[in-house]
Amino acid sequence: MRVLMTSARSYDRASFASQLGERQSSPHTFTYSSARLEASTAGIVAGHEAVCAFVNDDLSALTLERIAAQGVRFLALRCAGSNQVDIEAASRWGVSVARVPAYGADSVAEFTLALLFGLARRVHRSHSRIRENNFDLSGLVGIQLRGRSVGVVGTGLIGAATARLLLGLGMKVLASDPVGQVPDLVAAGVTYLELPELLQQSEVVSLHCPLLPSTHHLINEESLALMKAGALLINSSRGGLIDTPAVIRALRSRHLGGLAIDVYEGEKALFFADHSEDIIGDDLFHQLKSFPNVLITGHQAFLTHEALAAIAATTLDNLDAMEAGLACPNLVLPRP
């Protein structure tokens, strides 16, 4: 099968080349494009039967209609989330969609702790000062995490992995998940609560939810008001979980003690590209960057050699199954 990888970066090429090499022979031929797939760039898929897309590709109904008209029948997402895909439109146009449901829970969990450590101990501020030969420690007083309460919102694979690491730090781990409790987390000492109670009791809140209509802007004016004054908020999941203007107001009033995010609701126009010579017109992003107690990274929580290898392996397995007409366990189906 001829496969076009969109939004391709050097690490994508390397990880897929390694996996293809390990398989010695593959029925798939890859072409790589750094362009982000959207309706206006749909012409790049010409001559390909499959597209290997990423989280920030725009796979709306119009994009899917245009790529289907050029012969694309398979869409292999090299990510877990599928909220960027109009699944009903894909089904309507005869495009099968598969994702990578699990590939780097430990990688993302470890990065979540990196965000927490960096924010709690003001590492990002210190790093900036040292680069300017400023070794003054004033304003860098942090907090110790051991013994503090942390609320993990969502205990799927990544949330559960994060909870286990937080337990290892000696933190009091609370959790909330509408799907239900994870028995081994409860046995390890995690206390499950309803979300409002978790927000009220947590000194740190870490988000690990899929982006669904029910979770869109989960952190909003009302939920922020429930949080403890001075609490820290961490998001390594999906940008749309946070109502950015509401968070900015909470930061400005000093009710929210700090924010560390690896995802951002408006990231599609920014992340995964070099904008160092550009003038960025996103005023909300500029406001976030202006706060000394905000740490932002560019959607890199997944970016480890191990996770990239797992993404490539599962994506190739998905393509194999879809081309052969076999049952693919990772198909994304329209909601009934």
Summarised one tens digit per residue, pLDDT across range 270-319 is 999 999 999 999 999 999 999 999 999 999 999 999 999 999 999 999 99
Spatial strand order of the sheet with 96-98 comes to 29-32, 2-5, 50-53, 74-77, 96-98
Please list the residue range(s) of the chain that carry CATH number 3.40.50.720: 2-103+304-324, 105-296
Of 275, 265, 173, 171, the residue nearest 219 (C-alpha):
265
- 48 as an active site residue: the answer is no
The pLDDT tens digits of the residues spanning 174-217 come to 999 999 999 999 999 999 999 999 999 999 999 999 999 999 99
Among 49, 203, 265, 267, the active-site one is: 267
Token pair recorded at residue 121: 């101990």
What pLDDT is stored for residue 308 in this prediction?
96
- Kindly tell me if the per-residue pLDDT of 102 is higher than 90: no
Distance CA 45, CA 200 (A): 49
Question: 65 and 21 in contact (C-beta within 8 Å)?
Answer: no
Token pair recorded at residue 240: 């749309």
What's the whole-number average pLDDT of the chain? 95
CATH number of 105-296: 3.40.50.720
Among 238, 275, 286, 335, the active-site one is: 238
- Kindly tell me if the per-residue pLDDT of 23 is higher than 90: no
Sign of the torsion formed by the C-alpha atoms of 104, 109, 110 and 112: positive
Of 34, 32, 38, the residue nearest 20 (C-alpha):
32
Residue 102, SS3 per DSSP: coil
Distance CA 164, CA 181 (A): 14
Question: 11 and 307 in contact (C-beta within 8 Å)?
Answer: no
- 299 as an active site residue: the answer is yes
* Helix, strand, coil percent values for the chain (each to nearest 5): 40, 15, 45
Would the pTM count as exceeding 0.85? yes
- 28 as an active site residue: the answer is no
- Kindly tell me if the per-residue pLDDT of 126 is higher than 90: yes
Among 299, 305, 306, 323, the active-site one is: 299
CATH superfamily of 2-103+304-324: NAD(P)-binding Rossmann-like Domain (3.40.50.720)
Element at 206 (helix H, strand E): strand 204-207
What pLDDT is stored for residue 69 in this prediction?
97
CA 18: distance to chain centroid?
A: 24
